[in-house]
Amino acid sequence: MDLYKLTVHELRDLIRRKEVTVKDAVFAFTRRIGALESDIKAFNTLTAKETISMIERAEKDVEDGKFSPLTGVPLAIKDNICTKGIKTTCSSRILQNFFPPYESTVTTRLKDAGYVLVGKTNMDEFAMGSSTENSAFETTRNPWDLDRIPGGSSGGSAAAVAADMCAAALGSDTGGSIRQPAACCGVVGLKPTYGRVSRYGLVAFASSLDQIGPITKDVEDAAILMNVIGGHDPLDSTSAEVALPDFTAKLKDGIKGLKVGIPKEYFVGGIDPEVYNSVQEAITVMKGLGAEVVEVSLPHSEYAIATYYILATSEASSNLARYDGVKYGYRSTDHADLLDMYKKSRSEGFGPEVKRRIMLGTYALSSGYYDAYYKKGQQARTLIKKDFDDAFKTVDIIVTPTAPTPAFKIGEKTDDPLQMYLSDIFTISVNLAGIPGLSMPCGLSRERLPIGLQILGRHFDEETVLRAAYAYERATDWHKKKPTLAG
């Protein structure tokens, strides 16, 4: 049995029944990493020492009959989520030697649930990008085709899960950064409702949009991880005091009678025909499962990209002001005075995409332009959120493509930032509205590249999103399709 092919729930059950040891389970994945990492480049840091320590702890728990939800399950963590004493770089030169003095809430909860960390995954620098080409260290490659991008910014996490280098992973999503790479890599990615999962210990990009979530091999695993990482956290002022349900409890309830909304604005010109056809086929499957399909309108969708790139860059400009070379992070060694040290530390430490977004955000917030840009952006955001609120008065979920095309070639869009930004055209509105969204595989292109289906739900109704996704997954076999990899 190839243990690395197993899902979280399959692996967990084998460990609980003592049919495999934690050591054997984890080492199956670390050997897989050893065989594939030089080609895929999914990881910034491999945590050999910590992995061994966590294996020993999990094995003792098994020996003592203490079983937690993730005992002995190997996971990877995106490199913008703080892990105490383990390097956390955000794939940026400015944090290339940063070792956090504290643990994030999500990784604390994973530890309490018995997980084993195998490494920190590569990403677009400070989560700014849609292709993981903006990392200061490596370009992660898509396991389905090593000449293509894995999506971004959580590309390392998605590639690691798709290549069976970990059982599951955590990513972060500011404008689609969990869902879009999940679509590109043929795995499941869930962005929870804003406030459902604590952001304490997540290095901030845009604080009103950022959300941590799971990237998994199937829908049940996403529900299991949400049970662990979700819930109120007093350390995070944006964490919602909303009861956390058992997300696995209603997975198998089916979708008969569920009203599925299809937004007419999302099925327009510019979508790859193979993506369009695959999503339409998925909608047909949902109809066959008893769902009622109705058309809805999200009329302000056309303003989502512009709104997002005003608000996200403005917040990034503010959040990234702390990296000045003084208290921590990269400091230029060649400077004449304090001001020169600030300038050189930031210009040498940040990459071009981060600089571009800081400049855009600083401009939008500058005197004389605040009302014209940032204030207008907030007003447009309110209208986009209202569109979803109105739609959810008549439907239970909304179904759309996740991305307009399958994964594109590495280097194809790096010289055209506007084209790159359009990769997130179907995901950005979800962050602006704060609602939950899940991507899952629904087809393969002629070139055998995964195509993603996006399912959206009401605020704090991840249960219905997961239930619909699970029903579709059980009725199809797209989640069983795997990239062909040696090793």
Give the burial class of 365: count Cβ atoms within 10 A of its Cβ; 0-12 exposed, 13-18 middle, 19 or more buried.
middle
**What integer pLDDT is reported at residue 486 of this predicted model?**
53
Q: Residue 28 is part of which domain span? A: 3-255
Residue 25 structure tokens: 């389970």
How far apart are alpha carbons 460 and 6 in whole angstroms?
A: 29
Query: What is the rounded CA–CA span in Å between residue 103 and residue 50?
Result: 14
Q: Distance between CA atoms of 114 and 166, rounded to whole angstroms?
A: 15
Residues 364, 212: Cα–Cα separation, whole Å: 26
pLDDT value of position 409: 96
Q: Which amino acid is at 186?
A: G
Pairwise CA distance, residues 368 & 469, whole Å:
47
> Under 8 Å CB-to-CB from 272, ≥6 apart: which residues?
404, 405, 406, 445
Which pairs count as long-range contacts for 378-385, CB under 8 Å and 24+ apart, including other chains? Answer: 378/311, 380/300, 380/303, 380/306, 380/307, 381/307, 381/311, 381/432, 383/300, 383/303, 384/298, 384/300, 384/301, 384/303, 384/304, 384/307, 384/429, 384/432, 384/433, 385/432, 385/433, 385/434
Decide if 178 is inside a domain: yes
* Predicted local distance difference test score (pLDDT) of residue 421: 77
Of 79, 78, 107, 104, the closest CA to residue 92 belongs to 79
Structure tokens at 418: 């506007």
Q: In the chain, which residues have pLDDT < 50?
A: none
Other CB atoms closer than 10 Å to residue 297's CB: what's the count? 13
* DSSP string over 406-437: SPPBTTSSTT-HHHHHGGGTTTHHHHHHT--E
Residue 66, domain member (yes or no): yes
CA distance linking residue 403 with residue 419, whole number of Å: 13
The answer to whether residue 452 sits within a structural domain is no
Question: Within 10 Å of residue 48's Cβ, how many Cβ atoms?
Answer: 11
Alpha-carbon span 206 to 434, nearest angstrom:
13
Give the bridge partners for 409, in sequence order. 148
For the chain, percent helix, then strand, then coil, each to nearest 5?
45, 15, 40
- Cβ pair 330, 95 in contact under 8 A: yes
Peptide bond between residue 153 and the one before it cis (omega within 30 degrees of 0) = yes
Domains in the chain, number: 1
Return the closest-CA partner of residue 208 out of 430, 431, 438.
Answer: 431
For residue 351, CA distances in Å to 35, 149, 339, 422, 432 come to 30, 19, 20, 21, 26
211-216/116-121 β-pairing: unpaired
- Confirm whether 268 is domain-assigned: no
User: Is the separation of the CB atoms in 185 and 158 below 8 Å?
Assistant: yes
- Does residue 49 lie within any of the structural domains? yes
Q: Smallest Cα–Cα separation from 110: which of 64, 57, 73, 56?
A: 73
CA distances for 358 relative to 46, 98, 192, angstroms? 30, 21, 26
What's the chain's average pLDDT?
Answer: 96
Note whether residue 326 is domain-resident: no
Please tell me the distance from the alpha carbon of residue 247 to that of residue 344, in angstroms, as a whole number: 48
Per the CB < 8 A criterion, the answer to whether 134 and 353 are in contact is: yes
Short-list 463, 424, 454, 465, CA closest to 209: 424
Looking at residue 3, what is its pLDDT? 97
Q: What is the pLDDT of residue 345?
A: 95
Question: What's at 53, amino acid-wise?
Answer: S
The Cα diameter of the chain in Å comes to 70
The two three-digit tokens of residue 219, written as one number = 């829908």
Asked if 142 contacts 185 with a C-beta cutoff of 8 angstroms, the reply is: yes
E strands present in 205-349: 211-216, 259-263, 292-296
In a domain, 400, yes or no: no
User: pTM for the whole thing?
Assistant: 0.97
Q: Enumerate residues 6+ apart whose C-beta is below 8 A from 467.
A: 250, 251, 253, 254, 255
CATH number of the domain that residue 76 is part of: 3.90.1300.10
- What one-letter code names the amino acid at 35? A
Q: Which residues are catalytic?
A: 78, 153, 177
Question: Which residues are bridge partners to 292 per DSSP?
Answer: 259
Inside any domain, residue 23: yes
